[in-house]
Structure 1
Amino acid sequence: MIDFDKCGGLVPVIAQDAVSGEVLMLAYMNAEAFRHTVETGKATYFSRSRNRLWMKGESSGHEQEVEEIFVDCDGDTLLIKVRQRGGAACHTGHVSCFHQRLTEDGGWATVGHRVFDPKEVYGS
């Protein structure tokens, strides 16, 4: 059902808060990350920059408990509804990775607020 071959072994994954409906982040999974997610009930992704699996929250403790998983009609994108633990999905400390909004003058405005200080969680 999931076409991992279509995009070179990875599929984009949209993580959405299961309660509020807010889009939290976009990441990628390969088949192994998908299996691990299903087996553990915790969102596990494939890091393209580190070239390895990573369970969301492995360093911050801000895990994502998976409530539901959906696949799109083409079989090449996943939507996972999660319960975000620790209050923030973004490594910047914001609830959502999508916390920059384009303004009318073409600039960017930060929306939302920081839940944690990344220096305290990840170090310098």
Structure 2
Amino acid sequence: MSTDTGGRSLDVESLSGLAYVGIIAAIVSAVIHLRLGVGFIDSPLGISFILAGLGFLGAVVLVLLNYRRRTVYAVGIPFTAIQIVLWYVFNFAAGDKAFPADVGTLGAIDKLAQVVLIAVLVVLLRE
């Protein structure tokens, strides 16, 4: 009889330096999304920010646990790209802000982190 409970432990030894760059980028984006979500908690927009932030954090946990990393990388690319597209559409294409003048500090940091994350995920997926 097996005593395996299916529990997982951290597997950071198998992560490359590039993977850590991706983890940091995902955490930066997660923190920004969670902060914005709390600020807009009474609206559907706030809930969407919180869900996005939790998605980034959940992916980081899965990578740290070495749970289907390649799948997490593959799903992370469109997930993150959709964040960028939605941000642009809601704020600039359909919103009243001017690009790039009204990007703001949080927006710039978040989008930079997301572009870095996508680049890292593409490289990790191709390894």
TM-score by length of 2: 0.26
User: Of the two structures, which has the highest relative contact order with CA contacts closer than 8 Å and spacing of 6 or more?
Assistant: 2
Higher strand share: 1
Mark the structure with the bigger radius of gyration.
2
TM-score by length of 1: 0.27
